[in-house]
Amino acid sequence: MYPTILSKHQSKAAGIAGEKRVETIFRNHSFPTENRIFHDLSLKTSTTFQLDHVFFSQAFSLVFETKNISGVLTFKENPPQLIREKFTGEIESFNCPAAQVEQNVELMKDWLHQRNIHIPVIGIVVIAYPKQIIKVPPKNIKVLFPNMIPLYIRGLLHLPNKIDIHTLNLLTDELLNSHQEYIPKPISESFSISKEDFKTGVICPTCGYIGMIKIPRTWHCPKCKNNDPLAYKQAVLDWFLLMGREMSNQDCREFLHIDDRNVATRIFKSMNLKSTGTFKDRRYQIDFSKHIKD
């Protein structure tokens, strides 16, 4: 599964780089109207939906779907598909971002209607890759490069206000309250990999060796001989991303290669993990928002 996961990881990383590029454009511009901008918003109506960027004014809202794909791009309509021809001649197809943004527009409208807010919602696809060639754009959705966004927004500023400033502020609070941190499914689940197939052990932050040894007060690397008292924390985070949502004392001991259940209990305490259940079948959960470095 390694090549599959690696290529998935690379395309995610490219996606994030694209979103950062768009974020920078928004940060470096101010618009001559009251506005609120959100990045990476995850909301829920009939289903959970993720919005790369959202722009709200008193007159309209814009929902952006950002793609960071190189090559020559063709948007196909029926069925919706994005075809990429690499500069090497290789051809690949992707889920169509135009269709995706159309769906997000509908979901955003539903979310707003539920709160009795009526304001036009416009979907935009942003192609964030610097050397992009678009051969055939989508029929119904505008495609922009990041640096075109400010001018495009300025072109909409003549539109009449639909909500007052008080409602815009309420809407802002409501969006922030409704936002749900998106946590992907554990790798073992999404790729159907058996738990026995994972290499376990605490990774040495100095040399990358897997299998540091717990010694009194710290963790020791048998390969480079370095000690690191906090090396175990990454292993616990990794377990939640690889294996599951709930960790037992035994899971912890197996993954970190420790024998003493009290050591595992201390680890859970030191990381402020929430727990459910009683002594024997106690399970620990993690709140990633407290552990993720930006």
Residues that bind Zn ion (CB under 5 A): 204, 206-207, 209, 221, 223-224
Nearer to Zn ion, 108 or 231 (CB): 231
Nearer to Zn ion, 76 or 220 (CB): 220
What six digits make up the tokens of 51?
């919005």
Q: How far is the CB of 210 from Zn ion (least distance, A)?
A: 10
CA distance 186 to 198: 13
Q: How far is the CB of 227 from Zn ion (least distance, A)?
A: 10
Nearer to Zn ion, 205 or 244 (CB): 205
Nearer to Zn ion, 108 or 212 (CB): 212
Nearer to Zn ion, 25 or 204 (CB): 204
Q: How far is the CB of 77 from Zn ion (least distance, A)?
A: 54
Strand locations in the chain (E): 36-44, 48-56, 61-67, 71-76, 81-85, 91-94, 121-127, 132-136, 142-144, 213-215, 218-220, 247-248, 274-276, 283-285
Q: How far is the CB of 203 from Zn ion (least distance, A)?
A: 9
User: Which of 114, 117, 25, 104 lies closest to 65, judged by CA?
Assistant: 104
Which residue(s) pair with 144 in the sheet? 126
Q: How far is the CB of 293 from Zn ion (least distance, A)?
A: 21
CA distance 220 to 202: 10
Nearer to Zn ion, 96 or 203 (CB): 203
Cβ proximity of 45 and 107 under 8 Å: yes
Q: How far is the CB of 213 from Zn ion (least distance, A)?
A: 11
CA distance 10 to 139: 29
Cβ-based burial of 225 (10 A; exposed 0-12, middle 13-18, buried ≥19): exposed
